[in-house]
Structure 1
Amino acid sequence: MSVSLMYEARRATPLTAAEAAEVERIVNAREASFPYPDEESCFFYDAGDRAPDAVLNGSTKLPFRPGRLFPVIAHVLDTVTELRRALPTAQWSVSTDDVPVPWDETEGYALAGMRDAELIAELSAIDEE
């Protein structure tokens, strides 16, 4: 059984050419900086796999390795935060399976502990056992 982060942006109007280009720029830049090539980063669904008013949606299957969990979550949520700021008129929904991820105007999307260096180090030690 796996846990996923899911994200979706909805609005009545489709993306403009400029917005689509900005989304592509953000996704490409964030993908290039993803730290684990053997893990899943942001995965965006094709337009045909979206609800009629969804302009962007996708999911990320979270890693099973404890030491990678929070770095992957942080990277994906930072990507979605950047996308939300690029598409401010959309209605956004971000969750881990059925649990909403909170939005903060200053910090963006975040989960408790996702940047806690000591916790990440402890979880990484489990990977090495």
Structure 2
Amino acid sequence: MSVSLYYSAGRAVPLTAAETAAVEAVVAARESSFPFQDEEGLHLYDGGGEPDEVLDGSTRIPADPGRLLPVIAHVLDSVTELRRALPGARWRVHLDDLDVPWDEGDGYALPGMRGTGRAF
């Protein structure tokens, strides 16, 4: 059984050139710091999503218990950076059917992960 983390941002106005560049910079930086080259990290789709959707993607979560939390933490930190780069967008982040809450100070984290420093 596969579990995935899904993320999407929507708004009526498309991304500006500056926002597109900011998204690309976040993706490049997060890809280079991803801890496991043989696992799926932040994965953005190539358009074609829902109306008014400006960004969407998903990450398949590894079954290996030793990799599960580091991958989730890294991807949620990545999505936190993306959200902060796209002000005014409506975000939805969820782990299959579980919505991942947003906190203005900490960003995205699963319940129980907040305040842990998320260094696994």
Q: Structure 2 length as normaliser, TM-score?
A: 0.92
Counterpart CA distance in 2 for 1:88 and 1:100 is: 20
The aligned residue for residue 103 of structure 1 is 102
Counterpart CA distance in 2 for 1:18 and 1:24 is: 10
What SS does the aligned partner of 1:23 have?
helix
Structure 2 counterpart of 1:6, one-letter code: Y
Structure 1 segment 64-103 matched on structure 2, within 5 A: 64-103=63-102
1:39–1:63 contact (8 Å) kept in structure 2 = yes
Counting aligned pairs with the same residue, the percent is 66
Q: Structure 1 residue 36: deviation in Å?
A: 0.1
Structure 1 counterpart of 2:82, one-letter code: L
The aligned residue for residue 34 of structure 1 is 34
The aligned residue for residue 2 of structure 2 is 2
Q: Structure 1 length as normaliser, TM-score?
A: 0.86
Structure 1 counterpart of 2:50, one-letter code: A
The aligned residue for residue 126 of structure 1 is none
Counterpart CA distance in 2 for 1:98 and 1:83 is: 21
Counterpart CA distance in 1 for 2:112 and 2:73 is: 10
What SS does the aligned partner of 1:106 have?
coil
1:70–1:113 contact (8 Å) kept in structure 2 = no
Counterpart CA distance in 2 for 1:113 and 1:9 is: 24
Q: Structure 1 residue 98: deviation in Å?
A: 1.3
Rg (Cα) greater in structure: 1
Structure 2 counterpart of 1:54, one-letter code: E
What SS does the aligned partner of 2:19 have?
helix
Counterpart CA distance in 2 for 1:47 and 1:3 is: 23
Counterpart CA distance in 1 for 2:37 and 2:112 is: 23
